[in-house]
Structure 1
Amino acid sequence: MAKLSKKAQEILKAVEEMSVLELNELVKALEEKFGVTAAVPVASVSAVAPGETPAAEAGVAGAGEKATFDVILVAAGENKIAAIKAVREINQNLGLKEAKELVESAPKPVLEGAKKEDAEEAKKKLEAAGAKVELK
């Protein structure tokens, strides 16, 4: 790795310690602030086998193990308000209106491209709120 300034090293260290949810917030804030996108060009994705992520192709995950997961809200359950609160806790970029619309239009993804631990944590929060959830 190239030699970094002290400030760059501090930023790198802070990023290393962030959860997937926090990184997602940071990426969205950077995209908005600087008018850029962190989307992967479509041409580079086509080189990956169907059902595999680029990280899995690079050997980040174990053989046959998914590297990232999507948390899908299948149904809100009896207590829609608790489900909305859980969705907002998981995805802090959503306002009340957006979270309500997401819950009411289930099945919908709540969290995409998350590490296994973060996806399972989000699933537990939603299930505790009475929602039906899938990990894909």
Structure 2
Amino acid sequence: MKKVDNIFNKICELNLIEIKYLLDKSKEKFGSFKMLKNVDSVKKKKKFDVELISIGENKIAAIRMIKEVMNLDLMKSKNIVDNLPKILLKETDKKNADIISKKFINIGCNCLIK
């Protein structure tokens, strides 16, 4: 958390106009700050869902990864890819959700842990 503390200390040095500018740029980049409420709920949750949002440019790699992770046949895996977004895993622990989502992210897919 040292990195965050350093950033916080830098923000504390800003004047009000600079802070407003920072907030406006942050809203531009990240949308609203409603996502911060989701962070608190994620900390409290014990079970998570992994949702595949998009596959990027490598459809074949995504189909193979779904086949491997979900232990499905090729046609069912292809059907999932053709009908996104789709929840791949339901009510799994945080560690497993992170592992699975990283596998998909590494091949260019967009995953969401809920």
TM-score normalised by length of structure 1: 0.51
Equivalent residue for 1:37?
A: none
**TM-fit CA distance, 1:86:** 1.1
Equivalent residue for 1:117?
A: 95
Q: Pick from 90, 96, 100 the counterpart of residue 74 of structure 2.
A: 96
Equivalent residue for 1:134?
A: 112
**TM-fit CA distance, 1:83:** 0.7
Retained in 2: the 8 A contact 1:84–1:99?
yes
Instruction: Calculate the aligned-residue CA RMSD, in Å.
Output: 1.0
Which structure has more RCO (C-alpha within 8 Å, separation ≥ 6)? 2
For 1:1-136, list aligned pairs within 5 A.
65-92=44-71, 94-136=72-114
Identity of aligned residues (%): 38
3-state SS in 2 of match to 1:134: strand
The structure richer in helix per residue is 2
> Where in structure 1 are there 5+ consecutive unaligned residues?
1-63
Q: Deviations over 1:95-134 (max 9, x none)?
A: 1100111011110011111110000000011111111110
Give the structure with higher Rg (CA). 2
**Equivalent residue letter for 1:88:** K
**TM-fit CA distance, 1:89:** 1.6
Retained in 2: the 8 A contact 1:73–1:108?
yes
**Equivalent residue letter for 2:79:** E
Runs of 4+ deviating beyond 3 Å:
none
Q: Distance in 2 between matches of 1:85 and 1:125?
A: 11
> Where in structure 2 are there 5+ consecutive unaligned residues?
1-42
Aligned length: 72
**TM-fit CA distance, 1:87:** 1.0
